[in-house]
Amino acid sequence: VEETYIMIKPDGVQRGLVGEIISIFEKKGFKLTGLKLFQCPKELAEEHYKDLQSKSFFPKLIDYITSGPVVCMAWEGIGVVASARKLIGATNPLNAEPGTIRGDLAVQTGRNVVHGSDSPENGKREIDDNTALRLHFGVITPSVEIVIGWLYLDAFSIQE
Ligand code: GTP
Ligand code: MG
């Protein structure tokens, strides 16, 4: 199943937009499979955005991402990577269409509320890089595990 890493950036958390953003992905029909509130260490922020290392705004970007807690999430579903990027909108919120998260809720590229993976490969990698994002049912009893598994199957069995 395709999965993507969605991170609500510090401005989104501070402005109280967590519920609203989660709701957008839930209502679209994607499945939340991991979530944590997290203070991102500098080293992990630098690793996450390593492709942008040479950019002049890189130090500002790292300061921004580490300026407060972020909400890290794993979402799965058909076409979730591209669809999430559409729901999020263009990098510069002033270019993002109304109806998108950045289009409706932000004005600055350096305060653009949310991150979404840009490819299925990066989605898997970014989720793997954030320990604790994968559900580990092993800690609860097998019978409860089966019930949870059955409920999930029931709710998400019709995907097309
Ligand atoms: P992400 O989902 O966060 O990866 O954004 P993106 O894929 O739409 O854009 P990109 O990966 O190119 O850039 C990553 C992040 O760096 C952006 O979301 C911005 O927060 C930040 N960024 C990009 N360009 C600029 C810039 O010109 N100035 C500043 N201050 N920040 C920038
Ligand atoms: Mg990006």
61-76 pLDDT tens trace? 999 999 999 999 999 9
ipTM of the predicted assembly exceeds 0.85: yes
| CA-nearest residue, atom 1 of ligand 1 | 115
Active-site entry in 40, 62, 74, 115:
115
What's the gap in Å between 159 CA and the centre of ligand 2? Answer: 27
6-55 confidence digits (pLDDT tens) = 999 999 999 999 999 999 999 999 999 999 999 999 999 999 999 999 99
| CA of 147 relative to ligand 1 center, distance in Å | 41
Q: 8 and 23 in contact (C-beta within 8 Å)? A: no
Distance, CA of 42 to CA of 19 (rounded, Å): 26
**Which CATH number does 3-134 carry?**
3.30.70.141
Q: Residue positions in the annotated binding site for ATP?
A: 9, 57, 85, 91, 102, 112
Q: Give the pTM.
A: 0.86
Residue predicted with more confidence, 151 or 74: 74
**What is the pLDDT of the chain when averaged over all its residues?**
89
